[in-house]
Amino acid sequence: MTPEQRLAELAIRHAALAWLDQQRAKGKEVFSQADTSGVVLAGQTMRLMPTQQGIWKPSQLQAALSIRTVYRPEGSTRPYDDAVGSDGLYRYKMRGEDPDHYENRALRSAAVARLPLIWWLGVQGGGYSALYPIYLVGEERTALQFVVDISAVPQPDIVWPAAELDLDPAYRQRLTTVRLHQRPFRAAVLRAYETACAVCSFRHGDLLDAAHIHEDAQGGRPVVTNGLALCKMHHAAYDRHILGITPDYEVRVNEAVLHEVDGPMLRHGIQEFHGRALMVVPQRRSERPDKPALDARYQLFKAAG
Ligand SMILES: [Zn+2]
């Protein structure tokens, strides 16, 4: 790839990432094939997602633009045997058995030219969420896989202390896994709750979180039944055991906080929800919060009170 070609590649990729930023700013978390087709980037119309296989190189580009991993329920057969290595970097399987298949060459070109790519991750319930920018930082030919670095993906919700990563490979490995699952988890949970806080039904997507019931740090799984869509206020209150949720989907407020006297935020935002049912639960029964997980968390709330 000539330096001029590389600059052209970067211009189109930056336009693609800016387009995704705009979509996310509008609250869009889940993308379909159709959503990402016919996008105009730096004057060229293209598709951002592969239709058939996992690797996508638009005809206008010299190198691959995106990769895709379909959603796989835990315990099912995996279409790709991808995994996080002990170095905290992800492995993405090559197409087929030939490292020089044209799709693998397209990925190699992106690695050599250090071009940013988009990773489409399947969301529970359908569609894909976009993880970007990601970089391919190497390949392991005998294992037929590329090495993927996702540390440039902005994710303000999780702690990512770069300085300590070198000290503890296991920690780095775990953080990569969390980072990878966070966005599709959020997308799946917000879809299931129709972008509304379970406690108060507040509907501004940018002020909503996908909270874990069994906490992430304690090994909670990134599945919808282990999630709750909560506004920032109720998420923080839930994490600090100011607010609890019973296995019967009712809200409880910490005894001391319940009797505190403060302004309207405390009264209307917290105290008035005590004893009420959750305002929003997923339509599909199979996506509603897992009762044993809620109960375990509710016991922690009671013990903290
Ligand atoms: Zn709320």
150 and 13 within one domain: yes
Q: In 142-290, where does DSSP find H-type helix?
A: 162-165, 169-192, 232-239, 255-258, 264-269
Tell whether 186 is covered by a domain: no
Question: Can you give the pLDDT at residue 15?
Answer: 97
223 and 148 within one domain: no
- The candidate with the shortest Cα–Cα distance to 174, out of 303, 244, 88, 290, is 88
Tell whether 189 is covered by a domain: no
Q: Domain count of the chain?
A: 2
Rounded distance from Cα 19 to ligand 1 centre (Å):
29
Question: Can you give the pLDDT at residue 81?
Answer: 54
206 and 159 within one domain: no
Question: Can you give the pLDDT at residue 68?
Answer: 94
Give the range of the structural domain holding residue 232, as residue numbers without chain letter: 196-304
Question: Can you give the pLDDT at residue 75?
Answer: 61
Rounded distance from Cα 105 to ligand 1 centre (Å):
48
131 and 91 within one domain: yes
Rounded distance from Cα 167 to ligand 1 centre (Å):
38
CA angle 285/193/68 to nearest 5° reads: 95
Alpha-carbon distance of 44 to 11, in angstroms, equals 11
Rounded distance from Cα 135 to ligand 1 centre (Å):
36
Cis upstream peptide for 133 (omega within 30°): yes
Rounded distance from Cα 212 to ligand 1 centre (Å):
15
220 and 142 within one domain: no
Rounded distance from Cα 219 to ligand 1 centre (Å):
25
253 and 208 within one domain: yes
236 and 167 within one domain: no
Residue 195 burial by Cβ neighbours in a 10 Å radius (0-12, 13-18, 19+): middle
Residuewise pLDDT in 10s, the chain (305 residues) = 999 999 999 999 999 999 999 998 888 999 999 999 999 998 999 999 998 889 999 999 999 999 999 888 766 655 455 688 888 899 999 999 999 999 999 999 999 999 999 999 999 889 999 999 999 999 999 999 999 999 888 865 555 455 555 567 777 777 777 778 888 999 999 999 999 999 999 999 889 999 999 987 777 888 999 999 999 999 999 999 999 999 999 999 999 999 999 999 999 999 999 999 999 999 999 999 999 999 999 999 999 97
141 and 274 within one domain: no
Residues within 5 Å of ion ligand 1, judged at the Cβ atom: 197, 199-200, 202, 231, 234
171 and 201 within one domain: no
Phi (first) and psi of residue 135, to 5 degrees: -130, 145
